[in-house]
Amino acid sequence: MSVLRARPLLGTRVDISVEGLPESEANAAIDAAFAEIAEVHRLMSFHEPGSDVSRLNRIAAAEAITIDARTHAVIAFAQDLAAVSGGVFDISIGGHLVAWGYLPAPDAPAPDPAATWRDIVLESGNRVRFARPLWIDLGGIAKGYAVDRAVKAMALPADVQCVINAGGDLRVTGPRPERIALRVPGETLAKEAIPAIEIAGGSLASSSGSEHARVHQGLTVGPHLNGASRGGVSGGTASTTRFVSVTAAECMTADALTKVVMAAGVDAEPVLRRYGAAAYLYESGGWRILEHRSEEWEPVFGEGDVTKL
């Protein structure tokens, strides 16, 4: 028995498929997954005034506030990745995304232009404070975390096949691999076979620079920023011509690392190595594999002449 359901959450469509359970049990597991994803959305949305993210942006520069343990865990991972990447990954870039029109201006004190991830202070008891006013955005990591939480909420036996796909950020569990097509936007691969990756017991996340690129004050910008060079070309925006897919054990890791590779390109290899991940980078008409180490995530292709990843 195979059950497939979808629901709009996290600003995208979330698809969940379960194979190997009676229909009633599969639906109960999927209900639990959707409920957990909805909770992550409620806690980490930049748009919702009552979310942990919005409360932090309003209050944390004045005093430490207590947030949900899940939000605290995501911020803690983001801070670790910021340190490992030398600040390339930085959740304190909400001000830039607002200025460029990707996010609405929140009802919060204006961010200090000098504020960075180093001004986010995590305290015991799930408390967080900001050393300077800043606006955090968890849009580059929360979808992946929600997928991981959904897998945990479902608590499926090892012999049950499951795929959770939140707009291209996905995780596969169960006894067999799943073939996932890499959705390179536009006509980049129009004359080639579409590349795919087979994943067993792992996660895949993808990001595209061209899909959401726009012009701001005469410069081409995108929603993926290089937090370490905000004052550089286009205010620190990452490449708007790259396409990146990252494989990792957990979807939160894969989701966040796509932003690092988007910003740093081949220089992201040491960061990928640190998290045991692999990246597939398409730019300038060709593919590059960065830190590919897992046979379970060996890329495979359809018919036609393509450059093997």
- pLDDT recorded at residue 224: 66
Taking the C-alpha atoms of residue 272 and residue 289, their distance in angstroms, rounded to an integer, is: 11
pLDDT value at residue 194: 73
Q: What is the residue extent of each domain of the chain? A: 52-130, 177-301
CATH classification (class only), 177-301: alpha beta
Query: How do residues 64-96 score in pLDDT, each as one tens digit?
Result: 999 999 999 999 999 999 999 999 999 999 998
Residue 210 has a pLDDT of 55
Residue 216's pLDDT is: 54
Residue 107: its pLDDT value, please?
A: 93
Say how many C-beta atoms besides its own lie within 10 A of residue 61's C-beta.
Answer: 20
Note whether 169 and 254 are within 8 A (CB).
Answer: yes
pLDDT at 99: 84
pLDDT in single tens digits along all 309 residues of the chain: 799 999 999 989 999 999 999 999 999 999 999 999 999 999 999 999 999 999 999 999 999 999 999 999 999 999 999 999 999 999 999 998 898 778 899 999 999 999 999 999 999 999 999 999 999 999 999 999 999 999 999 999 999 999 999 999 999 999 999 999 887 765 444 555 678 888 989 999 998 865 665 565 556 555 667 777 764 334 455 566 788 999 999 999 999 999 999 988 889 999 999 999 999 988 877 788 886 555 444 444 343 333 333
Pick the CATH number of 52-130 from 1.20.1250.20, 1.20.1730.10, 1.10.3980.10, 1.10.3720.10: 1.10.3980.10
pLDDT tens, position by position, 108-122? 999 999 999 999 999
